């Protein structure tokens, strides 16, 4: 795979996109209220455990792991020291100079197979002069901890670590080993991180059945208005779309531009691309997408409420108006079809010369189960010109994980403990995370960050002023403990 592909494909890049697509998450105080209602079903870390977790996150944020260059080894050594201080065996492996992976294991009874808690150590660059507070100082203001990586994804990494430490401290031995893994290099594709691990150290996770990683979160109403920040649903991504890159080449005769040729390479390629642009792939409703849209319909406003509630009808023959309405929320819209974006165009070198060749590239994202062969046929049919040469230049298969197993049941149990007013729903995401390296090892992998974050906060993930609301951070640790205990 090329580096450029990886840059396009990372999760974090795309999460920034998600903000513009109507994700409206915010912090709720529902947990506290519900804790009173069902005390026996809820786990809550103590104040001192919470203080310790905030300290861990602050220290971790202060370690600058901006990628490039990364320097994640300092982060890996820090996490290793915390694990070891708490009596959990942990190893650090160098994948390149100053870059390292940490892996620790909390032993269970071994009755069931292990579960991995995955995170990445690297962060994207931060332009300090744009920030209200410095990006690597971990300052706390108004109940929020500021810094690059607080949301993407050192915050989740420390939630995972704190949940593991809380379980260890409780003395309860779970049926599954919990494996903590933090990788470098996720933000530019994982060559020195998850990919390196999957190729060189996979024997360390050969007993693992499940994995939790970054991904979707708890989508909530805006805090303003009468809904006051309540969670809509817990989105758990069980699949990432496959990546298919295609090249289109038209060959023809070169000639002087003073004597036009209607079938020139340029003219034929332009017609082919126009067909692609005007005829997007038809909607395809996956069973998981049906469940997703029907589950979230009650939480949406009209007209999306009605369109989602009857998603089968919606997807069958959408009018132009329906397409426009659905496309406002691009993230959800992407779950309904394979997509094509025309990206690279190359042809010609002089105004008065008709070139002999015209070339284009397409970035296609395919739903689980669609093969490159199937999609190439579809593209060729859409173009309707056999003189255009269509070639596959990149293919990355995004395998889905099941969404009716112990992991989903455990997440649903944690959700029920809070009253289950916001359903747990399966999501297909259009981006790639480190999860795919582990799916390829046969480990069922899920993207779920058990915290509420509003749209403003989500927008900071690859932007400025990234910060995590500490109340959500605390609830996230509790939820992870509940999920792991129920697994």
Q: Which is nearer to Zn ion, 16 or 485 (CB)?
A: 16
Nearest Cα to Cα of residue 31 among 42, 16, 19: 42
Q: How far apart are CA 117 and CA 314, in angstroms?
A: 37
Q: Which is nearer to Zn ion, 214 or 452 (CB)?
A: 214
Tell how many helices (H) and how many strands (E) occur in the chain. 18, 17
Site string for Zn ion, 290-319 (x = CB under 5 A): ------------------------------
**CB of residue 100 to Zn ion, shortest distance in Å:** 18
Of 142, 122, 39, 468, nearest to 477 by C-alpha is 468
Work out how close the CB of 80 gets to Zn ion at its nearest, in angstroms, rounded to a whole number. Answer: 21
CB of 121 to Zn ion, least distance (A): 10
How far out from the chain centre does Cα 310 lie? 27
Least Cβ distance, residue 12 to Zn ion (angstroms): 4
User: Which DSSP string corresponds to 97-148?
Assistant: TTEEEEEEEE---SSS-EEEEEEE--B----GGG-SS-TTS--EETTEEEST
Ramachandran quadrant class, 448 (left: phi over 0; alpha: psi -120 to 50; beta: rest)? beta
Q: How far apart are CA 57 and CA 114, in angstroms?
A: 25
What tokens were used for 49?
A: 């455990």
- Closest distance to Zn ion from the beta carbon of 50 (Å): 24
Q: Tell me the residue length of the chain.
A: 487
* Interface characters, 44-83, with Zn ion (x: CB under 5 A): ----------------------------------------
Identify any residues that bridge with 89 across adjacent strands, giving them in sequence order: 105
| Minimum CB distance to Zn ion smaller for 422 or for 453 | 453
* Minimum distance from residue 449 beta carbon to Zn ion (Å): 10
Query: Which one, 314 or 460, has the nearer CB to Zn ion?
Result: 460
Supply φ then ψ for residue 467, to 5 degrees: -160, 155
Toward Zn ion, which CB reaches closer, 281 or 469? 469
Closest to Zn ion by CB, 102 vs 422, is 102
Nearer residue to Zn ion within complex by CB, 184 or 281:
184
Work out whether strand 114-120 and strand 424-429 pair parallel, antiparallel, or are unpaired: unpaired
Please say which residue, 50 or 60, places its beta carbon nearer to Zn ion. 60
The residue number whose beta carbon is nearest to Zn ion equals: 12
Q: How far is the CB of 61 from Zn ion (least distance, A)?
A: 14
Rounded least distance, CB 305 to Zn ion, Å: 31
Q: Which of residues 2-41 bind Zn ion (CB under 5 A)?
A: 12
Tell me if 60 sits within 8 A of 75, measured CB to CB: yes
Name which of residues 147 to 186 contact Zn ion (CB under 5 A). Answer: 152-153
How far apart (Å, rounded) are the C-alpha atoms in residues 270 and 265? 9
Q: Which C-beta is closer to Zn ion: that of 152 or that of 177?
A: 152
Binding mask 385-414 for Zn ion (x = CB under 5 A): ------------------------------
CB-based contact 214:10 (threshold 8 Å) = no
Build a one-symbol-per-residue string for 190-229: x at contacts with Zn ion by CB under 5 A, - elsewhere: ------------------------x---------------
d(CA 369, CA 286): 10
Of 355 and 450, which has the nearer Cβ to Zn ion?
A: 450
Query: Which tokens sit at 263?
Result: 């079938």
Query: By CB under 5 A, what part of segment 405-464 binds Zn ion?
Result: none
Helix (H, G, I), strand (E, B), or coil: what is residue 358? strand
Smallest gap from residue 383 Cβ to Zn ion (A): 36
Task: Pick out residues in 347-386 that bind Zn ion (CB under 5 A).
Answer: none
Size, binding site for Zn ion by CB under 5 A: 4
B/e letters for 71-85, b = 16+ CB within 10 Å, e = fewer, are bbbbbbebbbebbee
CB of 120 to Zn ion, least distance (A): 6
Other residues' Cβ atoms within 10 Å of the Cβ of residue 206? 11
**What is the secondary structure of 423-479 as a DSSP string?**
-EEEEEESSB-THHHHHTTT-EEEEEEEEE--HHHHTTSSSSS-EEEHHHHHHHHHH
Ramachandran class of 384: left when φ > 0, alpha when ψ lies in -120 to 50, beta otherwise: left
Contact 91, 103 (CB under 8 A): yes
Minimal distance, residue 191 CB to Zn ion, in Å: 16
Closest to Zn ion by CB, 190 or 281: 190
> Which one, of 35, 24, 22, lies nearest residue 419 by Cα?
35
Q: How far is the CB of 432 from Zn ion (least distance, A)?
A: 11
Quick one: 11 or 286, whose CB is closer to Zn ion? 11
Under the rule (CB under 5 A), what is the footprint of Zn ion? 12, 152-153, 214
């Amino acid at each position: 795979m090329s580096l450029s592909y990886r840059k396009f494909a990372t999760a974090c890049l795309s999460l920034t996109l998600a903000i513009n697509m109507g994700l409206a998450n915010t912090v709720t105080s529902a947990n506290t209220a519900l804790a009173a209602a069902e005390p026996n079903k809820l786990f809550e870390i103590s104040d001192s455990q919470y203080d310790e977790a905030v300290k861990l996150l602050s220290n971790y944020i202060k370690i600058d792991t901006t990628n490039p260059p990364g320097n994640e080894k300092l982060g890996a050594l820090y996490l290793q020291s915390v694990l070891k201080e708490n009596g959990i065996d942990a190893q650090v492996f160098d994948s390149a100079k100053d870059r390292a992976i940490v892996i620790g294991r909390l032993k269970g009874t071994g009755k069931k197979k292990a579960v991995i808690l995955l995170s990445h150590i690297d962060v994207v660059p931060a332009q300090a002069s744009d920030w209200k507070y410095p990006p690597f100082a971990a300052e706390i203001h108004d109940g929020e901890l500021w810094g690059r990586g607080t949301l993407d994804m050192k915050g989740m990494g420390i939630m995972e670590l704190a949940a593991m430490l809380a379980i260890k401290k409780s003395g309860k031995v779970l049926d599954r080993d919990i494996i903590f893994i933090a990788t470098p290099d996720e933000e530019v594709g994982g060559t020195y991180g998850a990919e390196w691990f999957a190729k060189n150290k996979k024997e360390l996770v050969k007993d693992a059945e499940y994995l939790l990683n970054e991904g979707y979160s708890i989508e909530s109403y805006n805090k303003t208005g009468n809904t006051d920040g309540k969670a809509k649903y817990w989105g758990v991504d069980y699949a990432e779309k496959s990546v298919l890159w295609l090249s289109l080449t038209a060959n023809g005769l070169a000639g002087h531009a003073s004597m036009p040729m209607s079938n020139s390479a340029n003219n034929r390629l332009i017609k082919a691309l126009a067909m692609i642009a005007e005829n997007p792939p038809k909607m395809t409703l996956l069973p998981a997408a049906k469940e997703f849209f029907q589950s979230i319909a009650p939480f949406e406003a009209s007209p999306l409420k009605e369109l989602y509630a009857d998603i089968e009808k919606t997807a069958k023959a959408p009018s132009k108006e329906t397409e426009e309405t659905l496309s406002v929320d691009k993230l959800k819209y992407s779950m309904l079809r394979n997509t094509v974006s025309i990206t690279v165009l190359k042809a010609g070198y002089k105004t008065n010369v008709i070139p002999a060749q015209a070339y284009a590239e397409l970035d296609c994202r395919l739903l689980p189960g669609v093969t490159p062969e199937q999609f190439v046929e579809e593209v060729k049919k859409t173009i309707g010109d056999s003189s255009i040469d269509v070639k596959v230049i990149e293919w990355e298969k995004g395998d889905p994980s099941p969404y009716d197993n112990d992991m989903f049941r455990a997440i649903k149990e944690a959700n029920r403990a809070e009253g289950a007013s916001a359903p747990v729903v399966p999501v297909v995401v259009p981006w790639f995370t480190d999860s795919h390296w582990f799916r390829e090892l046969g480990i069922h992998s899920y993207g779920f960050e058990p915290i509420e974050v509003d749209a403003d906060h989500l927008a900071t993930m690859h932007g400025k002023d990234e910060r995590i609301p500490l109340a959500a951070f605390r609830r996230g640790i509790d939820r992870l403990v509940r999920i792991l205990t129920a697994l």
